[in-house]
Amino acid sequence: MRRRMIVAFLAPAVGLYTVFLVAPAIQAFYLSLFQTSGFGDQTVWLGLGNYVKLWSDTVFWRSLYNMAIIMFVGGVFIFGLAFVFTMLLNSGMWGKKLFRALIFMPNIIAVVAITTFWSFVFMPRYGLLTSFLKELGLASLATTAWTAPQNVFFSMLVGLVWISTGFFTILILAGADKIPTDMFEAARLEGASNLQIFTQITIPMMWDVIIITLVLWATQAIKMVEFPYAFGGPNIDQNLYTPGIYLYIMGFGQREPVYALGYATAIGVVLFVLTVLAIVAIRILLRRDRVEF
């Protein structure tokens, strides 16, 4: 009876999940074995041909490299800043709620608006950063073209770190807020510094939250499209390509009418595999005994 009840309650969710997620994923994998533009019924069976082509596609590798930089370099800055903010906000400082709201604010603004703001910051000649550097008398830095192809990726990354830090700070703060306050009080009575409290109490006691935020960041970084794409504009430079953007360029006919839907789907399948691998790796590498409180 109990088993029947479980099946009955699970069936709708499993059914929807199968129809709207599992089946399309399988169909996508099947589509990735063909050469097709998606317009007509003409498809050419390639087997693993799209994947073989991907393996030797320098643009795809470039996009993977960018993705890795976003994930690791961006991740270090985002989580570094998020932990610093968490530490500061939990140190009993005045105006915690106000600062928490300010840090989170970029997340409630549309990505396009945020990227427009950042493009004004970095714009040569009339941009905010250029004007600021000129005021400081740093003429050589002021003439740097921050959005020129060789610099545009890292300019974009600055904006991305800025917008993402708030989101992850809020998640980590929520985890830290759950830790019983008597532990912090006891530590302070024992003479622990803020840094000691953070590393010896806060981090271990919210380890599960940290793993979840890392998984969230990894999946975001792997799927990253909106921010770099909006930053680079519709005529996006290859230096800003992520695999997701490359998928879009190859499958959806932007300025150049490239409609390689099978190839684009193969990129999507690779992204799916990468996401699963990243989650498994984070789970395995960061596995620790659960701390109870």
Partner 1 sequence: MPQKSSRSRLAALAVCAGAVVGANQVHASELVFWSVWNEPEPQAVALRKIMSAYSQKHPETSFKVVWNGRQNQTKLRGALQAGIPVDLMDADADQLAGGLQMDGLGYDLTGELTGETKSAFLPGVLDLYAVKGHYIQFPYIYNTVNFWYNKDLLKKVGGSVPATFDELLSLCRTTRKAGKDALVIEGNVGFYNVLYFSNYLERLKGSGAVVKAFEDKSGAGWSDPAVLAAAKASRAVWDAGCIAADAPGFQYPAGQQTIAQGDTLGELVASWLPTELSESTGKDFSWGAFNFPAVADGKGKATDLEVGLLSFMVLKNSAHPKEAASFLNDVIGEDSQKILVAEGGVGVPRRGVAWPAALADGQTAAANATALSPFGGGLTTAYPEFTSNVLHPEFNKMFLGKTTPEEFVSTLVAKTKEYWDSHK
Is residue 149 a contact residue for partner 1 (CB under 8 A)?
Answer: yes
Residue from 12, 40, 47, 191 binding partner 1 (CB under 8 A): 40
- Stretches 157-165, 231-239, 265-273, 274-282: which one binds partner 1 (CB under 8 A)? 231-239
Is residue 255 a contact residue for partner 1 (CB under 8 A)?
Answer: yes
Nearer to partner 1, 236 or 271 (CB): 236
Is residue 168 a contact residue for partner 1 (CB under 8 A)?
Answer: no
Helix (H) or strand (E) holding 253: none
Query: Are the C-beta atoms of residues 240 and 153 closer than 8 Å to each other?
Result: yes
Number of neighbouring beta carbons within 10 Å of residue 85: 20
SS percent in the chain: helix, strand, coil, step 5: 75, 0, 25
As a residue count, the chain comes to 293
Structure tokens at 56: 């030797």
Nearer to partner 1, 64 or 206 (CB): 64
Is residue 236 a contact residue for partner 1 (CB under 8 A)?
Answer: yes
Residue ranges with strand state E in 71-228: none
Is residue 154 a contact residue for partner 1 (CB under 8 A)?
Answer: no
Task: Give the nearest distance from C-beta 275 to partner 1 in angstroms.
Answer: 24
Is residue 157 a contact residue for partner 1 (CB under 8 A)?
Answer: no
Is residue 253 a contact residue for partner 1 (CB under 8 A)?
Answer: yes
> Which amino acid is present at 111?
V
Distance CA 129, CA 122 (A): 6
Q: Give the dihedral sign, CA 252/257/261/263.
A: negative
Query: By rule CB under 8 A, what count of residues binds partner 1?
Result: 40
Structure tokens at 253: 């006919």
Q: State which of positions 118-147 bind partner 1 (CB under 8 A).
A: 119, 122-125, 143-147
Contact residues for partner 1, defined by CB under 8 A = 37-40, 42, 53, 59, 119, 122-125, 143-152, 232-238, 249-250, 252-260
